[in-house]
Chain A
């Protein structure tokens, strides 16, 4: 239930502005891949192109190919909604739907798409999704309470449960821990470790220790200067990137000696 992603010569634009230039990367199925790099280098922008969330912003477009098990996401006639239902996303700030209960938040992907689901099936789906997100024990007694009443870390795990509930092939995480305290961060890192048994996980992070802890492969992005496009500098095993990088810029960045 997970697919690999191969990106070929991808350029990402906001209007006429080239934000990310010429990225080619192969992301294995059932693995955790981390994107690291300084702010504004295009990691998040590139991540958003992987499930066509990029084009939600006005004027945004891409050139190149993103293949999911060989199928081009940007091929003619491909419906972005289909893409997004297979490639889920967790955002930087937890964003549970404020009008919905915890239970309805988990079922949001099903209910918002008006799919019919029996109460029994829904109960099973809610429990399994919340268990996968390590949240079940904390919320099982208050499933009907609003999701906005949870703590930040719990809300973020609720958002992960919501993403899992639609059974995607790939889960993209855009700095999922940047708004959380170390304990909640640990809970989510544990969760990422569990998730890679079933899903392909791609995570953007500013925290290099986190990248080193959770990922098998790491991609380093960098930017030559303001107004210049972001580029993929180096991509390889996390061990290699952190201990023995091939490019000087990578070494400077991971050792904190850049700039």
Chain B
């Protein structure tokens, strides 16, 4: 018979002594919220100030309690955690705020009948006055702008991707970090920083000089956009090509494969997922550009399916003109509703492109598995 002596367990193990209880942050948070509300009530309550004051109180309270119970090392850890989480929330705030504002203001415009299928052709101030004064539905839509945005972005992509990808291939595979390669890298960096309006002016001036004064078409806008896109494509493709292991290139060379075939058949397929998502992000970057399109494609109220002739609308310029020059100056509300609707569509487009980039990256990613 053996009997084991089980020592009477104290409530908390000796190893966890000197720690704050698990519920500590929640208690401090509740206290901070209550005290914060009380302080704010004295000087006039508002939600933003409540959040700030509570956050400061929470940090001070938790860190102070920690110093007393746990000592300075743990307290520093808690302070750092509070700062990191706080910064994250501050960074998140504008994003959520933007999405919320656009959703609230944009949904009425988006669900208005014919918003996605009609243009603004023939929509005059009289209709908008009627909509406000008599409650008639808001008519007019963004079809023409959607067509313009899609076409211009597509042409810009068709121009930028080959130029950008080939530049990246030169830099990584053939440049050898020589003088030309370094010069290209430098100018690509400079191009990344070009203000978009300057790109627009360049494209406009270029076409004025080559085709004729006053040339404003979707294609000119596409050239302006591609000036903005090319550096992004070069940069992202270059990074992706660089991380392809050199061993794969050597493996191909050792099989007696020529360099250009190695690049096409081994290097690019290995990097394609990163390249594709880089291109998609570059598209997302330029799809919302306003200034270069205003000076290169003008703005239109009717549908123009020809990128190479006539002024063309796009979503950003549509928003710009609807807000700045409402269709009915006396009653700008319908115009502003359309502008917010267009903004919502633009955000959805960008989001779809980002999701598309992830999807592409997953589809093309080198397959693993047994």
Chain A residues in the interface with B (C-beta under 8 A): 51, 53, 56, 58, 81-82, 84-86, 88-89, 91, 93, 95-99, 108-109, 111-114, 142, 145-146, 148-150, 159, 162-163, 166
Which residues of B, 331-370, contact A by the 8 Å Cβ criterion?
Answer: 366-370
Flag if A113 contacts B247 (CB, 8 Å): no
CB<8 Å pairs between A and B, sample of 8: A89-B250, A95-B247, A99-B269, A99-B366, A112-B255, A112-B265, A145-B370, A146-B369
Residue B193 interfacial (CB < 8 Å): no
B333 → A minimal CB distance (Å): 55
CB-CB under 8 A from B261, the residues of chain A are 112-114
Flag if A112 contacts B257 (CB, 8 Å): yes
A155 → B minimal CB distance (Å): 11
CB-CB under 8 A from B258, the residues of chain A are 81, 113
Flag if B255 contacts A166 (CB, 8 Å): yes
Q: Which A residue sits closest to B245, measured CB to CB?
A: A95
Given contacts A56-B250, A95-B245, A95-B247, contact A81 B367 (CB under 8 A): no
Bin the interface of chain B by size.
20 to 34
A64 → B minimal CB distance (Å): 21
What 0/1 pattern do residues 255 to 286 of B give for CB contact below 8 A with A?
11110011001100110000000000000000
Flag if B269 contacts A166 (CB, 8 Å): no
CA distance A250 to B363 in the complex (A): 54
Flag if A97 contacts B251 (CB, 8 Å): yes
What 0/1 pattern do residues 127 to 154 of B give for CB contact below 8 A with A?
0000000000000000000000000000
CB-CB under 8 A from B262, the residues of chain A are 112
Count chain A CB atoms within 10 A of each CB in B249, B262, B370 and give the residue with the most: B370
Our pick among A93, A98, A108 for the contact of B366 (Cβ within 8 Å) is A98
Q: Which A residue sits closest to B269, measured CB to CB?
A: A99
Count chain A CB atoms within 10 A of each CB in B249, B266, B367 and give the residue with the most: B367
Flag if B369 contacts A81 (CB, 8 Å): no
Residue B89 interfacial (CB < 8 Å): no
Flag if A53 contacts B257 (CB, 8 Å): no
Flag if B366 contacts A146 (CB, 8 Å): yes
CB-CB under 8 A from B269, the residues of chain A are 99
